[in-house]
Structure 1
């Protein structure tokens, strides 16, 4: 089978490239090292997203009655690829448009949609996701943060960790335990981050300033209307959300852009002729292409109106492999990139560090593949 883009899709991609070429400052590559959750890039992303919204390029895949253009998932993929290839100038807002907004459209109450969707559609919202916990990590069924109903409120106590954007986010997409049932006891609350009782502490890291945090909830009170869906419905909602998230983050595009730059640097130095260097570059390119085609298979399902399945974990793991391979190639053959000589490569390396953690740890993806794709018996895993 031969895959080709339609004329409209090619024009859409060129429109995005032209937009970015005109919008991004000359020092964008160095500026992007601030990290997607830094105050500097978050502020700049709000400008970018507002201009994308004005051009109809922020949420083109959303339904028309929610401010989008109703375009099919291929256009969402094209948009995301070009944003990530440029270093993702939308900052943390990519999360809003890829999965938080669509999740609210599907599961949110009328009041929740009225409250949150317009700000996302205008490029003025920043969310964080309260998923991982100490001792739970990516195993969401083990979370212990508790929400007890008291009249018309929930009282929340617990802790989240590795939370991106928590310092600057206005709202947290929070997973809480409302009963002791491992999976059916989890509920989602949409919690304003300025609610009394929330304490955020930044965790120093190598992946960019302001990127990860601890978040503590001490008798935090929110109204019952903050609940998304029904009590115990979180597993269904999160399955839908994470499949959209993993598909909406084409890290393979950034990895391939970094790899192409590294190869060009080596060619300019006359250092790309060694067979081992060329073989390692070819391996990394092959993994990038494998990740891209695995993701395209899922986009094709969505374009036909079919639900994404656990196969999304195979695409996610393929993307982890390509990110790691591109980063390892740079470290091995262009190590000076990590000391600011080539800021785009340094920025990619910072992002690649978390490739096997963000959006669900690689080990969790392998467990999902073993159980839900290959249907292996537990003793064989």
Structure 2
């Protein structure tokens, strides 16, 4: 088996790395302590993704007729790896380009495609994800936000929580119940909601790890035209199941964890800690977990490149990335000791990242449950 990169993908990475090393040579805002969701972060990412879009590097894997570059899945993932190595300067755009846009491409009407896709491809808009609710987090099938038919449209009432970037988003990829509660998954629909629609209220949620990216979204008598419905009514679960498989590996966090690991090794060497056999063993285990996550993610991308339907392997890859990030975060505390608690230090930053790793894009425990059922064939109960 040949694990080397193809010539075109390697050439793209080389050009991309040169560009990013120049463009981000002076660092960027995250070095000054402002976090996800801040005005500085938002302003920087909007400007940066505009530059990527101008070079055709924001949506290289999209069809050309929708503003993409017509390239393969691997080039898109090379882009993602290099961005995450640098702390993801694209901001929430990875969500737009990785699965919101592709969902619209696959399930949207031509009007939706022509209206919504070009602004994403140009880096002009943000999307947020209206999935979780106070009583429907990991169990989305129990969501209660309801969209009721009213003439040629719908009236939506409900609440969403932990909605990343809702404070800056232009649109929301919204799940709402259009069938009865008894219908479970079969009564859910997807709506493409402009966030400036009357009746939409966003409230900030302060975050334990210091960044502000989480919000609550309240929907009160929000009126949407039928044209806001993505796909068929009550078929939202099938759409979400497919798009979530893309989200699971949309953020190659292992790339950032591996880079932090290199920084920790340099710190440990400078402070004489690499001579400790226990510390050296921890470094080896953390490196192995990063590499295992990378290989498992590559298996998922290989399926995508071959245009296969999403498989349960995405859950394996997601769980492996969480393990890698947590291992590097724990190692940072063990190696650096009290210095890892200094705000914005290498250890502090990685430990904060590892806390969120097991929650974002589906909790770690839920991924393990899915692996047990769908891959290992274990009973649900």
Please tell me the TM-score bracket, short chain as reference. over 0.9
Residue 228 of structure 1 corresponds to which residue in structure 2?
A: 230
1:273-294, Cα deviation, whole Å (9 max, x unpaired): 1001011111111111110000
Residue 339 of structure 1 corresponds to which residue in structure 2?
A: 342
CA apart distance, 1:144: 0.7
CA apart distance, 1:198: 1.3
1:306-350, Cα deviation, whole Å (9 max, x unpaired): 1111221111111111111111111222242442363x5543333
Structure 1 residues 348, 48: closer, same or farther in 2, change over 3 A? farther
Structure 1 residues 88, 341: closer, same or farther in 2, change over 3 A? closer
Give secondary structure in 2 for the equivalent of 1:157: strand
In structure 1, distance between residues paired with 2:283 and 2:128: 36
1:331-381, Cα deviation, whole Å (9 max, x unpaired): 222242442363x554333322111111111121112112222221234xx
**1:233-312 to 2 correspondences below 5 Å:** 233-312=235-314
**1:6-45 to 2 correspondences below 5 Å:** 6-24=6-24, 26-28=26-28, 30-31=30-31, 33-45=33-45
User: Is 1:202 paired with 2:204?
Assistant: yes
User: Is 1:215 paired with 2:217?
Assistant: yes
Residue 68 of structure 1 corresponds to which residue in structure 2?
A: 68
Q: Aligned residues, how many?
A: 378
TM-score by length of 2: 0.95
CA contact (8 A) 1:163 1:213 kept: yes
* Higher RCO (Cα < 8 Å, 6 or more apart): 1
Give secondary structure in 1 for the equivalent of 2:186: coil
Give secondary structure in 2 for the equivalent of 1:292: helix
TM-score by length of 1: 0.95
CA apart distance, 1:300: 1.1
Report the more deviating stretch, 326-335 or 95-104: 326-335
Report the more deviating stretch, 23-32 or 2-11: 23-32
CA contact (8 A) 2:202 2:218 kept: yes
CA apart distance, 1:237: 0.6
In structure 1, distance between residues paired with 2:33 and 2:84: 14
Query: Which consecutive residues of structure 2, in runs of 5 or more, have no partner in the other structure?
Result: none
Q: Choose from 351, 366, 370 the match for 1:364.
A: 366
In structure 2, distance between residues paired with 1:283 and 1:207: 25
In structure 2, distance between residues paired with 1:49 and 1:95: 13
CA contact (8 A) 1:83 1:90 kept: yes
Q: Choose from 351, 354, 360 the match for 1:352.
A: 354
CA contact (8 A) 1:108 1:228 kept: yes
Residue 79 of structure 1 corresponds to which residue in structure 2?
A: 79
CA contact (8 A) 1:139 1:364 kept: no
User: Is 1:47 paired with 2:47?
Assistant: yes
Give secondary structure in 1 for the equivalent of 2:184: coil
In structure 1, distance between residues paired with 2:354 and 2:324: 9
CA contact (8 A) 1:167 1:210 kept: no
Query: Which consecutive residues of structure 1, in runs of 5 or more, have no partner in the other structure?
Result: none
CA contact (8 A) 2:207 2:214 kept: yes
Structure 1 residues 19, 40: closer, same or farther in 2, change over 3 A? same
Report the more deviating stretch, 269-278 or 27-36: 27-36
CA contact (8 A) 2:30 2:41 kept: no
Give secondary structure in 2 for the equivalent of 1:184: helix
CA apart distance, 1:29: 6.7
CA apart distance, 1:208: 4.0
Give secondary structure in 1 for the equivalent of 2:240: helix
CA apart distance, 1:129: 0.4
Residue 188 of structure 1 corresponds to which residue in structure 2?
A: 190
CA contact (8 A) 2:29 2:41 kept: no
Residue 157 of structure 1 corresponds to which residue in structure 2?
A: 157
Residue 105 of structure 1 corresponds to which residue in structure 2?
A: 105
CA apart distance, 1:189: 0.7
